[in-house]
Amino acid sequence: MSTHSHFVIIGSGGAGSEAALIIRKRDPKCTITQITGSKLPFISRYELPRVFDGVDNWRDLLAHPPEFYDDNAITVRRNSWVDHVDAKNKKVLLRHKEEVSYDKLLVASGGGGYLPEGLREFRPLMNGLGSYEDAVKMRQALPSKGHVIMLGGDMTGLDLARTLVAVGHKVTLVAGEQLFWPHEVEEKKEKKFVTVLEAMGVKVVLGKKVMAIRKGAKGEPARRVVFDDGGGINGDAVMPFCGLMPALDFMIGANVDIERGLLVNPELKTTNDSIWAAGDVCQIWSPEENSYLFYYGWHHIKEMGEIAAINMTGGKKKISTYQDDHLYINKQGDIDSPYWMYR
């Protein structure tokens, strides 16, 4: 198939990048534009912990070298934000007041780090890990043998925790509701995993609610996390790892159905015939569960990108909505997750 259509992909993460490549393979003459707020070409979130492991040039973390995009005629509009989507006129309006017309649109804007209500006011005192820049800032903030306090404990965080411990930092995990997110772990299994975590060198604080984050007193480490029981711990940095929130404010008013994510059918099409979605942003109809579900993890994301691309270019492929993503202990006795398979 070959058209002169303009495919616009919002997002340059795993789903968006995979979709762009598949679209190009299936339609050599079309125009492909990816739009991303990131300044850099695609770096997988799962690669970022390597920044703490001595990788100090972003070029070594890229999923594809820059030439890849030029060779495949994929325009990646970086440092650009979508203000809203005008589905009626098939236009994407960018924040810098430029309209980009599309024939087919794929929303693959992913998710931002979720922050529970009570923690939001302390955002300036926390370090995120949403981007390469965040990772470097975090590394620079951390003294040698520093102490990182993690809040929540989703799988990205745990991945980082392993790396930080391995390079000599101290990690304290204040476990919250999002511990092992997006895995859902039964309570009795949870204890086993926590034991393994502690064996890895991560100190786990259970059953405490974070009330506040403060700057450390003079002479003390830079941050203090205060608990509901009045106690607290000091650390050099505080990082929240409380799961992801779909990033799709800009889709409000675009005439598509939204619940928490963009609602799509198993072919990943939204309720608008020209708009598809893939990745952490979409909630897919699962006939098995009779509801819309999120599917996280690298291999899902990549698959979603591929399926959306196939369907956008005239193919017909459904995603397998059955999932078996369990947290487990591997042969070395370490905690492991299918979400880490990329490593």
Q: List CB contacts of 180: < 8 A, sequence separation 6 or more.
A: 153, 154, 155, 158, 190, 193, 327
d(C-alpha 314, C-alpha 186), whole Å? 42
Regarding beta strands 262-264 and 282-286, do their DSSP bridges make them parallel or antiparallel, or are they unpaired? Answer: parallel
User: Which two structure tokens, joined as six digits, stand for 212?
Assistant: 């506040």
Residues 6+ apart with CB under 8 A from 137: 127
Closest separation in Å from C-beta 54 to another protein:
18
Burial 115-126 (b: 16+ CB within 10 A, else e): bbeebeebeebb
Among the candidate windows 70-78, 247-255, 281-289, 295-303, which touches another protein by CB under 8 A?
Answer: 70-78
> Which range, of 65-73, 103-111, 242-250, 300-308, touches another protein by CB under 8 A?
65-73
Selected binder of another protein within 79, 195, 255, 320 (CB under 8 A): 79
**Residue 34 Cβ, how far from another protein at the closest point, in Å?**
10
Secondary structure class of 37 (helix, strand, coil): coil
Stretch that binds another protein, among 99-107, 225-233, 269-277, 314-322 (CB under 8 A): 99-107
The one-character DSSP state at 207 is S
Closer by beta carbon to another protein, 13 or else 246 = 13
Is 249 near another protein (CB under 8 A)?
no
CB 70 to another protein: min, Å: 5
Does 70 help bind another protein (rule: CB under 8 A)?
Answer: yes
User: Stretches 112-120, 129-137, 171-179, 267-275: which one binds another protein (CB under 8 A)?
Assistant: 129-137
Residue 212 half-sphere exposure toward CB, CA atoms < 13 A = 7
Footprint of another protein on 15-54 (CB under 8 A): 33, 39-41
| 55 contacts another protein (rule: CB under 8 A) | no
Range in contact with another protein (rule: CB under 8 A) among 59-67, 113-121, 218-226, 334-342: 59-67
Among the listed residues 1, 53, 66, 260, the single contact to another protein using CB under 8 A: 66
Q: Are 157 and 150 in contact (CB under 8 A)?
A: yes
Confirm or reject binding of residue 98 to another protein (CB under 8 A).
Answer: yes
215 binds another protein (CB under 8 A): no
- State the DSSP H helix or E strand holding residue 285, giving kind and residue range, or none if neither: strand 282-286
In single-letter form, the type of residue at position 244 comes to L
Give dist(CA 79, CA 295) in Å, integer. Answer: 27
For another protein, give the closer residue by CB, 61 or 126.
61
Question: Does the protein bind another protein through residue 100 (CB under 8 A)?
Answer: yes
Written as six digits, the tokens of 120 are 């939001």
d(CA 55, CA 214): 30
Q: Which residues bind another protein (CB under 8 A)?
A: 33, 39-41, 58-59, 66-70, 75-80, 94-101, 132-133, 136-137
